[in-house]
Amino acid sequence: MADKVEQRTYEDAVNWLRDHGFDLIEAPGTQNRVFFKKYNVSAAIQKDGGEGVKIFAYPGYLVGSEISKLVNKGYQQVLKTSKTEIAATVDHLKALHQFTEEMKEALGLPSLYNESLGTVSEAYQYDRVEDRDKPEPERTKRPWEIAGVARVKAAKKSRV
């Protein structure tokens, strides 16, 4: 195994993707940004300042024409888009894993051991608590938090 991974330039990465069977689509209205697709999975890269390449849209299985986000809910992995949420099947996960490994090779990114074992989700919700990963001010109030505020207000009124 190599100790160093040689990063590719944007042009080298685009050529590698084209040579290895990826469908490339230039992003409309922008320069040096390309969407690429294979195995019904898609992602996007863009030119990073100088000669480098940067991931613009992380890999996701295509649901309709939208790139989905893989969410691990502990009991089930789901493909989530802005409109729908569907259960991820073995075929979805294999396609995502294969696509991600090929993308890393195209961009000259390291393939990490834990990611090579299987598909890695973008979000985890093991305890089924929604919005837990958001900053505290952005989280919705839980019923016990609302009830606690009401009790404090009632206690203050009774003291007066």
Quick one: average pLDDT of 80-103? Answer: 88
Reduce the secondary structure of the chain to three states and give it as a string: CCCCCCCCCHHHHHHHHHHCCCEEEECCCCCCEEEEEECCEEEEEEEECCCEEEEEEEEEEEECCEECEEEECCCCEEEECCCCEEECCHHHHHHHHHHHHHHHHHHCCCCCHHHHCCCCCCEECCCCCCCCCCCHHHCCCCHHHHHHHHHHHHHHHHHC
Would you say residue 2 has pLDDT above 60? no
The answer to whether the beta carbons of residues 59 and 48 sit under 8 Å apart is no
Whole-number mean pLDDT of the chain?
78
Token couple for 12: 């080298």
How crowded is the C-beta side of 6, counted as CA atoms within 13 Å? 4
Mean pLDDT of 126-134: 67
pLDDT at 66 (0 to 100): 86
The per-residue pLDDT for 1 is: 46
Q: Specify the higher pLDDT residue, 51 or 86.
A: 86
Kindly report, residue by residue over 94-115, the tens digit of the pLDDT: 888 888 888 888 887 777 766 6
